[in-house]
Structure 1
């Protein structure tokens, strides 16, 4: 087995499942990469990039966010949330994993890699705990979707008050995902928007841990979080010396076909971030780490990291 797994308890006694890939033996440890996955998926989908990282001297840790993957009590609990603020809870769960990493690697800083929802969580995370980090990598991130985001925020807030935030709503159930998929009509699957690689799309659609249905509170809290992190204070409170690598596809509907991603990068530059790299891949959709050119994307990520991380014995 190329990885190990374990669990930890959160501040509110939830059990969080996580993976650990140890760096290849006989290599100096360059750093530790902590992965924060996207909505509806799980950390087990990051085995490819984790393997590339471990073979280049990086330890990799990745937790299944609460109500996702193997952190859910069972498949019936996938997507079910009855807490107070999912966005904040998920960030504190990430922080707990960081503390585990720090205990196992004293005096070693961490590289945070966030995808999609995980990138939004990571952008808030660095304003709180950025001093623990060596670098930030954002995949498939987004500006606040003014039209769709505002409508979703109003709707989820309304239906949450009406029926309870722990319930789902059939009208809103696939609002975002259907809108994203419309960009690629005629659709072959429900998730054509994630990648142009049909094998990866089919693999994800068949994944028993893929979540289609969520409690309304999850969408509401993520939309509130997205709105917050795309306002000036979040960019201002990001450590200016923290190297940031942002990458996305120019056919990613979450990033508004590159437009929203460029806006995020520009806002970081305006806020004074000194080392910021933006890479937009032509033809790429939402999951560049699962695209037809995934090996190129992985290598670009490794090259960027190696230019900034000094190996230590």
Structure 2
């Protein structure tokens, strides 16, 4: 709610295409602080080589527009809204996959809560895998091929 309200107010003055450093610091600051010795992008992956590539590439460190931050806040709110969760077909296969060291998923705790919420709302075919040692970009972690296999297996099973 807070993120949407802030972007609404700033957009009144600057428009939806404005790139707000305030919103960037409020959104990304906690993620960066999770790994203070690993630069601005250490939260994305434990792969040091990729972190260095990200840090050295100006195209990988852009700031979202207000519209981007607003949409992100909206998606987070919708994912937690029980009224919307109740509209999901109960037999829809769902696979929640996260890194145990991903600050976006609260180091696995937020992802676990989301899984429990969906399960408690009657979603029957839901699977959870929180990968030890992995961060936000699972496709860049050392165990990425195992992750790809799990995704493939899930798709083929369903």
Query: TM-score, structure 2 length as denominator?
Result: 0.88
Q: 2:152 aligns with which of 292, 295, 302?
A: 302
Pair 1:154-2:5 in alignment: yes
Report the Cα distance in structure 2 between the residues aligned to 1:295 and 1:207, rounded to whole angstroms.
25
> Bigger CA drift: 197-206 or 217-226?
197-206
SS at match of 1:278: strand
Structure (1 or 2) with the larger CA radius of gyration: 1
Moved over 6 A (4+): none
Can you list the C-alpha shifts for 1:250-280, whole angstroms capped at 9, x where unaligned? 1111111111111111122122111111001
- Aligned-pair Cα RMSD in Å: 1.9
Counterparts of 2:30 and 2:64 in 1: how far apart (Å)?
17
Cα offset for 1:304?
2.2
1:164 to 15, 36, 40: 15
8 Å contact 1:174–1:212 — kept in the other structure? no
Higher helix share: 2
Question: Matches of 2:88 and 2:61 in 1, distance apart?
Answer: 31
Q: Can you give the 5+ residue segments of structure 1 that lack an aligned partner in the other structure? A: 1-149, 309-313
Equivalent pair of 1:166/1:217 in contact (CA under 8 Å): yes
SS in 2 for 1:245: strand
Quote the Cα distance in structure 2 between the aligned partners of 1:234 and 1:199: 40
* 2:37 aligned with 1:191: no
**Structure that is richer in strand per residue:** 1
Determine the structure 1 residue equivalent to 2:64.
214
Q: Is the 8 A contact 2:23 2:69 kept in 1?
A: no
- Runs of 5+ consecutive residues of structure 2 not aligned to the other structure: none
2:99–2:138: 8 Å Cα contact kept in structure 1? yes
Pick the aligned partner of 1:284 from 121, 134, 141: 134
Name the count of aligned residue pairs: 158
